[in-house]
Amino acid sequence: MRINKFLAEQGVASRRGADEVIAEGRVSINGKRANPGDNVEETDTVMLDGKILSHKVKYEYYLLNKPKGCVCTVQDEKTDTPRKTVMDFLPAGAGRVFPVGRLDYDTEGLLILTNDGDLAYRLTSPQNEIPKTYLVRVEGAVTPVQLNQLRAGVEIEKGVITGKCRVNVVETDKKYTKLHVVLTEGKNREIRRMFEAVGKEVKFLKRIKIGELGLTGLDRGAVRKLSREEIYYLKNL
């Protein structure tokens, strides 16, 4: 097993995050500093920050209705005053899990936390084209021209064009418009930047579905374990 996958299954971070942890020199295999391409066998001793990691892993899966005002990291290390993270909403006794993908500080909604690295990769890899549905609110009306631009793909920075997506108006009046946006990719702050590209500012953003898995019955800031059926569904998207 690749070392980054092993660390992801331990709940250290996603595979990409695990590569960063390895590059920082915090991981060793049998007493030697690990490299990103290393493989791990069950007989190997793997240590993180001087602590031995067990090869026995119990997978855990949580669904959080993330509120605004917290970050999607295991620990906030980028400010002098650490902000609340999504980990603060997990129940006492929860294992070492990590958030799957990112919702930015001011975005709320559906977030999965797990230590299952394979599932995390399946849900976040662009090549798998897993649909994610967002509720978006902007001020004023959105014209048919703007809708078609969003659906076809817009340039959010020089040379970076978003992929085709589904965009539908669900409610509108003279003051605001609510839309459902379905993406199969996950560029940084993609939806906010898409609407900025057509002259609209996002005032509210919430992820409401991954595939057909939604937030029914889960209050803002609440968390629950995924059911066996939900786990099976996500693994087979």
Is residue 134 within 8 Å of 180, Cβ to Cβ? yes
Q: Which residues contact 156 (CB under 8 A, 6 or more apart)?
A: 162, 187, 190, 193, 194, 196, 197
CB atoms within 10 A of CB 116: 23
Q: Residue 91 contacts by C-beta under 8 Å, 6 or more apart in sequence?
A: 223
Q: Across-strand partners of 224?
A: 63
Contact 150, 198 (CB under 8 A): yes
Catalytic residues: 104
Q: Are strands 108-114 and 202-210 parallel, antiparallel or unpaired?
A: parallel
